[in-house]
Structure 1
Amino acid sequence: PGLVAGFVAGAIAKEGFAFGKIPYASGGEATSTLAGVSSGFLGALVGGFIAGALVLAIKKYVKVPRSLEGAKSILLLPLFGTILTGFVMLAVNIPMAAINTAMNDFLGGLGGGSAVLLGIVLGGMMAVDMGGPVNKAAYVFGTGTLAATVSSGGSVAMAAVMAGGMVPPLAIFVATLLFKDKFTKEERNSGLTNIIMGLSFITEGAIPFGAADPARAIPSFILGSAVAGGLVGLTGIKLMAPHGGIFVIALTSNALLYLASVLVGAIVSGVVYGYLRKPQA
């Protein structure tokens, strides 16, 4: 029932409609009413949660005659959920657009001043939640740089993003290989699976380990991913593909250095994680 409302929230986030004026984070003039700056992925993400929450609230608190119960889920919930979500998003877009603009200004500023620092930040962001909002914010920024850089051989930012995203699953394999006594047999077998996931740029393979021991795993992953991203920025490696991992390695400007950067990051993460992790009974 909340699917259509979620689509509407995403569309409003993309178009940037809002009540009032949305200020530019970089200090420029505020945009005109009802034609604001897109709140992008972050706005759409918040809008999705809002849509689901509103539909659940309507389902719980709005009572209809028994004869209309069948129409409630397929008609009333999507209809009223969409209307309410649309109005709420007109207000939500204002702060989310400011946050989205500030984030992109910050990351764009790093790109102009230091490719190494940009690589460290983007790589580290990819390991913060391994597929969650922070990860996707970095990914969206990286893919956004591709269109303007294809003619010049690709994007360093996109290369750093993919390198950082490949590290956590590969770090799991390194840790389970070097610190076997700290992992169960099932976890060691999962480490083998994570080789494929890491090489395929599927960061989510490391989520079970991060969820089971976040205080030790996530900082370790962030460190290694930041190292990989920083090395990519330091060497100026570019990438022309938005996804693919090792399967698009030919689209990097230096395949060997790129693989070396990912390997160094995975080893750093794996060693730190394995050292910090407590032995399993």
Structure 2
Amino acid sequence: MTNIKIVAATGCPTGIAHTFMAEEALKKAAKKLGVDIKVETHGQVGVENELTKKDIAEADGVIVAADKDVYTYRFHGKPTVEVTVAKGIHEAEQLIQTIIDGKATVFKAKKSNTTEEDENVSQKSNHSLAHSIYKHLMNGVSHMLPFVVGGGVLIALSFLFGIHSAEPDHQSYSPIAATLNDIGGLAFQMMVPILAAFIAESIAKRPGMVVGFIGGLIASNGGAGFLGGIAAGFLGGFIIVVLGKLLEKMPKSLNGLKSIFLYPLIGILLVGAIMTLLVEPMTTINEGMISFLSNFQNANPILLGVIVGAMSAFDMGGPVNKAAYVTGTALLGEGNYYFMAGVSAACITPPLITAFATLFFKKYFNQAERNAGGVNFILGSTHITEGAIPFAAKNPIVVIPILMIGSSVSAILTYMMNIEVPAPHGGFLVLPVVTGAIQWVIAILAGSLVGAFIYGFYKKRSYLKDQQAKGDEEDGQHIA
């Protein structure tokens, strides 16, 4: 058993929490099962503990627990288990056991006759089409988020000088505010092109990234927004995949020509022509979606709050949560700061629910849970929803609905009080730029306390039932 060596790669769209939770879970499981493991993480700061060719060659199997591109073509010919990052957290032992039992499928990456830079242009995925689409999309989102967060916070900071302080003709004009707004605006303008570029990069590596970026730029300049960026990313990636198949019979001596000349030339021409035709209808759809959400927000904030709250707490950083969050970031780019206020409140709430529950119902949680609850005050306050995952994982059928209720309360109150949050991340750190900051904190605390007391009373009831069961068992033993 101790001779078995496994390598793994983990990565989540934001690269903040799930990536490293999966790493920790795999290491703990490997230690328990007596297996050597090396885990490469694809976090927001980049690749850490990178796997070498020797590591991969010597490995008896590979575990890929990721919702983004982690360069799986490297594992060609190796027994590989490829799952979502959430399964890497919750099913680490089963994944390792699959390798130990020799039940992992040998990974096959179909390579085209290209240079090393784009050797994976036409690789096949072992996953379903739905998961592949999600993985490509999340690769774009993970690279887009730093631009959105950095740019959004800078724009928000410019509002501290006054809401019109970046306008040269206004009496409250400030050069500092204008500079902050301009820099943040440039970062925000890169949101759609970067999204499209890295969706395409996930599909077709570096040649796809170039084509996707141009497609995203056309979508952004044409007003097609976030939806146009997604379309451009997938279009650019698959254009390069098709070109790779059409050109694969070219002599290997011309591989460099393909990479540096043919792919970008033909790819940019095709994506440019197609996106020019698509940009107008995509713009209409984008504007229609924004209008629908804005009207919905004004007409029925309670229902919107329930939807946003439930989505944000359902999988705590997973695909459903990201759907709400990415919609919020897209609307930020359109100047809608109300929607993100509810999303942020709903994302902050789950870890605070667990934190308050362990504080007020301390007796019914073990020491490890109380320690985790204390940490969740920090995680929740900084908009890191994933802190609630260990609590939800122990009893998801009960705990997740409780978290959804609390998050919905927070989002509903946020929308009803017309709070605006111009920054896409940061939690309470961005309070100085929140319109209605005190009300926002009250809304979040209200949802968190509602969820905490429901969760706490559930834990109390479970504890008392367990104590009663133990008492009955002891009584039965005395009678016997």
State TM-score, norm by structure 1.
0.64
Q: How far did 1:198 drift? A: 2.9
1:229 equivalent in structure 2: 411
Q: Choose which of 59, 62, 65 in structure 1 pairs with 2:247.
A: 62
8 A contact 2:325–2:340 mirrored in 1: no
Structure 2 CA distance for aligned equivalents of residues 126 and 138 of structure 1: 11
What's 1:30 paired with?
Answer: none
Question: Contact between 1:119 and 1:157, CA under 8 Å: does it hold in 2?
Answer: no
Over aligned residues, Cα RMSD in angstroms? Answer: 4.3
In the other structure, the counterpart of 1:14 is 220
User: Which amino acid is 2:217 matched to?
Assistant: A
| Whole-angstrom CA distance in 1 between matches of 2:427 and 2:227 | 25
Q: Name the counterpart of 2:299.
A: 113
Match of 2:121 in 1: none
Higher-strand-fraction structure = 2
Alpha-carbon distance between aligned partners in 2 of 1:55 and 1:270, rounded to the nearest angstrom: 50
| Paired residue secondary structure (2:383) | coil
Q: Quick one: structure 1 residues 50 and 158, their matched pair in 2 at CA, closer, same or farther if it must change by over 3 Å?
A: same
CA deviation string 1:181-222 (max 9, x = no partner):
999x7x987766654443222446668999999988876655
Match of 1:88 in 2: 274
Per the alignment, residue 49 of structure 1 pairs with: 234
Aligned to 1:251: 433
Q: Structure 1, unaligned stretches of length 5 or more? A: 17-37, 147-154, 276-281
Aligned positions of 1:1-281 closer than 5 A: 1=206, 2-16=208-222, 38-63=223-248, 64-93=250-279, 96-124=282-310, 126-127=312-313, 129=319, 132-142=322-332, 144-145=334-335, 155-171=337-353, 195-203=377-385, 222-239=404-421, 241-266=423-448
Q: Which amino acid aligns with 1:160?
A: G
Q: C-alpha displacement at 1:123, in angstroms?
A: 4.6
How many angstroms does 1:39 deviate by? 2.2
- Encode CA deviations 1:7-53: one digit per residue, 9 max, x unaligned: 1121122233xxxxxxxxxxxxxxxxxxxxx2211220232122223
| Pairwise CA distance, 1:65 | 1.4
CA–CA distance in structure 2, aligned partners of residues 104 and 4 of structure 1: 29
Deviation, structure 1 residue 125 = 5.2
User: Identity of paired residues, percent?
Assistant: 37
**Higher RCO (CA < 8 A, seq sep 6+):** 1
Distance in 1 of aligned mates of 2:363 and 2:231: 41
Of stretches 261-270 and 38-47 in structure 1, the one that deviates more from structure 2 is 261-270
Does the CA-based 8 Å contact 2:413-2:443 persist in structure 1? Answer: yes
Q: 1:80 to 1:198 in 2, by over 3 A?
A: farther
Residue ranges of structure 2 left out of the alignment (5+ in a row): 1-205, 459-480
Count residues with an aligned counterpart.
Answer: 247
**In the TM superposition, what whole-angstrom CA distance separates every residue of 1:60-84 from its partner, at most 9, and x where no partner exists?**
4422211111333343333333223
Letter paired with 2:221: E
Q: 2-side partners of 1:218 and 1:9: how far apart?
A: 39
Q: CA deviation at 1:245?
A: 1.1
Q: 1:127 to 1:88 in 2, by over 3 A?
A: farther
Per the TM alignment, residue 243 of structure 1 is displaced from its structure 2 partner at its CA by 3.5
CA apart distance, 1:54: 2.4
Alpha-carbon distance in structure 1 between the residues aligned to 2:407 and 2:265 = 44
Question: How far does the alpha carbon of each residue in 1:68-127 deviate from its partner, in whole angstroms, 9 at most, with x for none?
Answer: 113333433333332232233345445543432222111121344355455445555555
Residues 211 and 57 (structure 1 numbering): CA distance in 2 closer, same or farther, change over 3 Å?
A: farther
Q: TM-score, normalised by structure 2?
A: 0.41
Q: 2:114 maps to what in 1?
A: none
CA contact (8 A) 1:142 1:161 kept: no
Look up the equivalent residue of 1:251 and give its one-letter code.
V
